[in-house]
Structure 1
Amino acid sequence: MTGTCDPESHEWARHEHVIVFDGVCNWCHTWVNVLIDHDPHETFKFGTLQSEQGQQILHTLQLSTEDFSTFLLLEQARVYTKSTAALRIVRHLPGFWPLFYLGILIPRPVRDALYDYVARHRYRWMGKTDACRVPSPDQRRRFV
């Protein structure tokens, strides 16, 4: 899914790249840590789907505000979900990561089916926490 988020009505849309993730998902926390570690130019900002701003975006896009089966990538006011969001993220990372962007050649329904499988099992595989992630003091500037 691709949509838009009006920069005039949503503060996060003013940032060039914002990843909005499930704040209680340990799988998601792991990937946020990987992204922070492999994003030396601090290209990405982060926010949670459970936050007021995250909920506003979900509502605007008519996505569930309770079942967080995807994360969002806000990229210059456009919103990407599922495999498309993941692939658009890796193309901005250094090293071998951009090679994964070749996955964009796989038809989206196939990519999203794999994404949905992982999303359905992520809590079973990695668990979840009772509260949203709290960034460390040096990471705080990366969170919106």
Structure 2
Amino acid sequence: MPQAGKGGIILYDGVCNLCNAGIWYVIRRDPQKLLHFCSVQTRKGEELAASVKLRQADLLRRFAFIDHDTGKVYRASTAALHVAKYLPYPEKLAYNLLVIPEGIRDFVYDAVAASRYPVFGRTDVCQRPTPDVLDRFEDRDELEKEGKASRVWK
């Protein structure tokens, strides 16, 4: 797990195609490798969720970000905006959207989340990252096991 002051961990739905695309986008835009990842469908994901008092069912509806710089856990649109602060410009500017009331931001977030499987699809297993980024996944040991994750990210 990253040390305090070094970014954080995104807890995401590992079978959601939209979520996986978002994780891959963050990987490409985070050259300092401050952000780490963990699928909530893995044992490690369940442990991390429990450690911050979240249930897997809640995380399948709204992802979470464990921010090591603040020591806080953010959910839904607030989590996305806190992730953005670790990315370079222009993505970093999205952090300023925190001025929009959370209720409005989460209304939009929930609308997208509710349609993500029908629109973007889902896989049967958590996707396995390529070896060059595997060290950024808290659940890498589980993802490397044969049969645990058969679809490889590109």
Could you tell me how far apart the structure 2 residues matched to 1:79 and 1:143 are? 18
Counterpart amino acid of residue 90 in structure 1? A
Q: What's 1:23 paired with?
A: 14
Size of the alignment, in residue pairs? 134
Structure 1 residues 48, 110: CA separation in 2 closer, same or farther (over 3 Å shift)? same
Counterpart amino acid of residue 41 in structure 1? Q
**Structure 1 residue 72 corresponds to structure 2 residue 48:** no
Counterpart amino acid of residue 76 in structure 2? K
Any idea what SS the aligned residue of 2:60 has?
Answer: coil
8 Å contact from structure 2 (residues 11, 59) kept in 1: no
1:56 shift after superposition: 3.2
1:62 shift after superposition: 4.5
Deviation digits for residues 33-84 of structure 1, max 9, x if unmatched? 1100100000101110111232234445253537711111011242111000
Equivalent of 2:132 in 129, 132, 138: 138
Any idea what SS the aligned residue of 2:9 has?
Answer: strand
Larger deviation: 70-79 or 108-117?
70-79
1:91 shift after superposition: 1.3
Unaligned residue ranges in structure 2 (runs of 5+): 139-154
Unaligned residue ranges in structure 1 (runs of 5+): 1-10
1:99-138 alignment to 2 at 5 Å?
99-138=93-132
Any idea what SS the aligned residue of 2:24 has?
Answer: helix
Could you tell me how far apart the structure 2 residues matched to 1:21 and 1:67 are? 7
Could you tell me how far apart the structure 2 residues matched to 1:97 and 1:12 are? 22
1:23 shift after superposition: 0.3
- State the structure with bigger RCO (CA 8 A, min sep 6), 1 or 2: 1
Provide the TM-score with structure 2 as the length reference.
0.78
8 Å contact from structure 2 (residues 40, 56) kept in 1: no
CA RMSD of aligned residues (A): 2.0
**Structure 1 residue 94 corresponds to structure 2 residue 88:** yes
Q: What's 1:50 paired with?
A: 41
Aligned identity (percent) is 33
